[in-house]
């Protein structure tokens, strides 16, 4: 299984979601993490949803590596 999909699956099973938050009337957006009810919003705006989507995959992998006993510490 692709490492990114494995990381996303693990996060979703453990109530961790990462998603795009659009900014009204703008092309830019934020990325937000919901870690079992704790919301963490990115400090920066992403230029578009495509760039934010790439960041979401990286964040799922990061969270998996930090929180999972199976994660490979990079």
Which pLDDT tens digit goes with each residue over 26-71?
999 999 999 999 999 999 999 999 999 999 999 999 999 999 987 5
| Residue 41 placed within a domain | yes
Strands 29-35 and 16-22: antiparallel
Question: How many structural domains comprise the chain?
Answer: 1
Residue 34 structural domain: 3-67
**Residue with structure tokens 């578009």?**
48
pTM of the shown model: 0.89
| Residue 45 placed within a domain | yes
| Residue 62 placed within a domain | yes
What are the start-end ranges of the H helices in 1-74?
3-13, 49-67
């Amino acid at each position: 299984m692709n490492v990114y999909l494995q990381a996303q699956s693990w996060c979703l099973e453990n109530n961790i979601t990462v998603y795009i938050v659009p900014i009204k009337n703008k092309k830019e957006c934020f990325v937000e993490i919901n870690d079992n009810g704790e919301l963490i919003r990115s400090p920066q705006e992403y230029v578009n949803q495509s760039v934010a989507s790439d960041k979401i995959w990286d964040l799922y992998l990061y969270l998996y590596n930090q929180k999972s006993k199976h994660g490979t510490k990079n």
